[in-house]
Chains A and B, each alone.
Chain A
Amino acid sequence: QQPVQSPQAVILREGEDAVINCSSSKALYSVHWYRQKHGEAPVFLMILLKGGEQKGHEKISASFNEKKQQSSLYLTASQLSYSGTYFCGTDTGTASKLTFGTGTRLQVTL
């Protein structure tokens, strides 16, 4: 079952902040975040591991609530380059594979 992402879409003005949420019905080992620009491949942003370890982007932060199987991606002082579709991918720890959400489309305008 795919994790649920919210919101499905958001429009921001440059400099504004946004939060994208990812929620799973299964216990998670880790959550990955990727960004995809139109016509391109998804690109890795961050991994959040059970136990608090994080790995990834310097200008984007995220949290992982292990008890609630939820993760949030925080985009602060958004830039035009942040536009794209953001996907979370969840790992339940049973195999080295991810289940991706349906995505959140983010558009940053001037």
Chain B
Amino acid sequence: DAGITQSPRHKVTETGTPVTLRCHQTENHRYMYWYRQDPGHGLRLIHYSYGVKDTDKGEVSDGYSVSRSKTEDFLLTLESATSSQTSVYFCAISGGQRNNEQFFGPGTRLTVL
């Protein structure tokens, strides 16, 4: 299995509070991704990174920010959590070549009350 972990695995928070999710990899892969998964929507890309300090928006980036200061860590921050951000969040990594698969972390279940 690819060395990818997410923390925390579960979190319950209140509307308006800041939340940071962490993705950590030991594979030295260049690309890292944050997705959210909601019933009926599949996996939707929030942000991705193609190198240290190099990030770009995905299709559902509003309300989220990311940072990557080291190859192995990719942080997702909800500056002021809303109930619509209740979801399961998956981090994924990839070598970045066109024929490279993405490896997914175990996921973080976030509930915003």
| Shortest CB distance B56–A (Å) | 7
Interchain CB contact under 8 A, B42 and A102:
yes
Closest to A101 in B: B42
Give chain B residues whose Cβ lies under 8 Å from the Cβ of A95.
50, 56
Q: How far is the CA of A103 from the CA of B37 in the complex (A)?
A: 11
- Nearest to B33 among chain A residues (CB) is A97
Find A98's partner among B41, B45, B107 (CB 8 Å cutoff): B45
Q: A96-B31, A97-B48 in contact; A42/B43 too (CB < 8 A)?
A: yes
- Count, chain B residues at interface, CB 8 A: 27
Given contacts A43-B104, A100-B44, contact A53 B99 (CB under 8 A): yes
Residues of B within 8 A of A2 (CB): 42, 44
Chain A residue with Cβ nearest B44:
A100
Given contacts A56-B101, A97-B58, A102-B41, 8 further A-B contacts (CB under 8 A): A2-B44, A40-B106, A49-B98, A87-B42, A87-B43, A89-B43, A100-B35, A100-B43
Q: Report B's interface with A, CB cutoff 8 A.
A: 31, 33, 35, 40-45, 48, 50, 56, 58-59, 90, 94, 96-99, 101-107
